[in-house]
Amino acid sequence: MSHSRVHPFPNCIVTPGVRQIIDNGAGWLVNAIFSHLPKVLGNADERLHDFQIWTLKVDLKERRGVLECKADTGEPAVVTQIIGNTTFDREEIKFYLERGGDYKDEKEEEIVYHYCLMLPDER
């Protein structure tokens, strides 16, 4: 499976399924998820440092949505973003964001983490 980086998030990669969503006009959704990453990683729930569940639910009639991040199914959201106007054409889409591919940066001499955004069937 080929992964690709997403500008302006150099430590974040996406799977082909997510790349297709970006290419079909929903890059804003992926950017929204990655823009919340610093806040989520600052959360006291350590599970969120390794794995996150992101869900967008859209009211297709009203053209509004809610983006949420959770540590696990059935748990409270740690991030909720109201999407006031969207042309996204699905009632719901779910993503997994998983940490992986850690390496030591030679210049900075610190561990650098990579995060991969994927569709559930790509995990």
Question: Domains of the chain: which residue ranges?
Answer: 4-122
Asked if 83 and 56 count as a contact pair (C-beta separation under 8 A), the reply is yes
For 29-91, where are the E strands, in sequence order? 51-59, 64-70, 79-83
Asked if 42 and 51 count as a contact pair (C-beta separation under 8 A), the reply is no
CATH architecture of 4-122: Roll (3.10)
Tens of pLDDT, residue by residue over 45-78, are: 999 999 999 999 999 999 999 999 999 999 999 9
Alpha carbon of residue 58 to chain centroid: 17
- Tokens representing residue 114 in the block: 């990579």
Alpha carbon of residue 43 to chain centroid: 16
Segment 7-30 mean pLDDT: 89
- Tokens representing residue 70 in the block: 């959770």
pTM: 0.88
